[in-house]
Amino acid sequence: METASRTAPITAGAARIEIDDVSLRYFTKQGETQALAGISLNIEAGEFVSIIGQSGCGKSTLLSIIAGILEPSGGVVRVGGQPVTAPSQRIGYMLQQDYLYEWRTILDNALLGAEIQKRNMKESRERAIHLLEKCGMGSFLNHYPRALSGGMRQRVALARTLATNPDVVLLDEPFSALDSQTRLAIADEVVDVLRSEGKSVVLVTHDIGEAIAMTDRVIVLSRRPGRIKSQHLMRFPSYVGGRPTPFQARSLPEFNTYFSTLWDELDVHVEG
Ligand code: ADP
Ligand code: MG
């Protein structure tokens, strides 16, 4: 069988991610911690996957490796067929903390990445405004972050991540600082924006419901050192008429079935 060659054309605006036998050890004064062991995983161009696993199992470590921020101890990550060896413009990374600059307006915050990457600012401005509008922030362009709620700040952070038009978007627990109602509301909008942009997306979360409702495939990591324990395609045949929104997905019978399967997979223990 022919495999994707290095010269294969890349789908515009999305890229395949190949994670090939990746492991990572941290070395500190206290000793050595193996965070990841033998992770092999492909994410198709335009696919939206989630990675779940207990705290400390290596989820953030894996995202940092995909982002080119951490070098794996073994194995390789390729994006669009090219090995990742350093952070690149093709990869957008959004963290739990929004890192908005309080002295810059919302629009100027959304333009930060484009400025750093020395993009055409006229085009970037148009794109940033378009994205902020899509994220429901169109009437706040000239406001400052301090005037915004946590959910609004995360919308701005998402627009900023997308403003540089990366092929791959990595999201590390982007909603975990938000209250549960805001999380539910923002999930629908975020999925809508990400899907319409057609990016390859990897969402890391410890929230099973979020993973089921938002993504196409849920990947479960074992306890440390993180290995792939199982993978599950999220399908909602009981929903007629396309794909359910995250909010709709939560009331479908498949949601409960997936939830109990994944709950068992995660093997959560409460101490005491
Ligand atoms: P998760 O995001 O799933 O909670 P992390 O990827 O942050 O997990 O961490 C995986 C393991 O590696 C944890 O045991 C953590 O303590 C350890 N770890 C993370 N970062 C470092 C670091 N910079 N130095 C040493 N150990 C680390
Ligand atoms: Mg983490």
pLDDT tens-digit map of 243-265: 999 999 999 999 999 999 999 99
2-267: CATH class: alpha beta
CA of 11 to the centre of ligand 2 (A): 30
pLDDT digits (tens, 9 = 90+) for 176-223: 888 888 888 889 988 998 998 889 999 999 899 999 999 999 999 999
From 50, 60, 62, 223, the mutation candidate for ligand 1 (largest count of ligand atoms within 8 A of CB) is: 60
Ligand 1 atom at minimal distance to the Cα of residue 64? 6
pLDDT for residue 270 = 64
pLDDT for residue 10 = 37
- pLDDT mean over 225-235: 96
The proportion of the chain whose per-residue pLDDT surpasses 90, expressed as a percent, equals 71
The proportion of the chain whose per-residue pLDDT surpasses 70, expressed as a percent, equals 94
Determine contact, residues 164/113, Cβ cutoff 8 Å. Answer: yes
CA of 54 to the centre of ligand 2 (A): 9
- pLDDT mean over 220-240: 95
pLDDT digits (tens, 9 = 90+) for 96-108: 787 899 999 999 9
Indicate which residue's Cα is closest to atom 5 of ligand 1: 58
- pLDDT mean over 82-87: 94
Q: Which is more confidently placed, 42 or 11? A: 42
Question: What is the token pair recorded at 126?
Answer: 């148009």
Q: Which ligand is nearest to the CA of 95?
A: 2
- In angstroms, the CA 111 to CA 131 distance is 11
Asked whether the predicted pLDDT for residue 125 surpasses 70, the reply is yes
Q: Which ligand is nearest to the CA of 51?
A: 1
CA 184 → CA 79, 176, 249, 265, distances in Å?
31, 11, 11, 24
Chain centre distance of CA 123: 25
Asked whether the predicted pLDDT for residue 112 surpasses 60, the reply is yes
- In angstroms, the CA 165 to CA 127 distance is 9
Beta strands in the chain (DSSP E): 17-28, 31-43, 48-52, 74-79, 82-83, 91-94, 168-172, 200-205, 217-221, 228-233
From 23, 24, 26, the mutation candidate for ligand 1 (largest count of ligand atoms within 8 A of CB) is: 26
- In angstroms, the CA 200 to CA 17 distance is 8
Residues with CB under 6 A from ligand 1: 26, 28, 33, 35, 53, 55-61, 224
CA of 211 to the centre of ligand 1 (A): 21
Of the ranges 2-6, 194-198, 230-234, the best mean pLDDT one: 230-234
CA of 60 to the centre of ligand 2 (A): 4
Q: Which is more confidently placed, 219 or 147? A: 219
From 27, 33, 39, 170, the mutation candidate for ligand 1 (largest count of ligand atoms within 8 A of CB) is: 33
pLDDT digits (tens, 9 = 90+) for 23-78: 999 998 989 999 999 999 999 999 999 999 999 999 999 999 999 999 999 999 99
pLDDT for residue 9 = 39
CA of 8 to the centre of ligand 2 (A): 33
pLDDT for residue 93 = 92
Question: What is the token pair recorded at 139?
Answer: 């009437």
Chain centre distance of CA 156: 15
CA of 245 to the centre of ligand 2 (A): 26
Say what the pTM is. Answer: 0.91
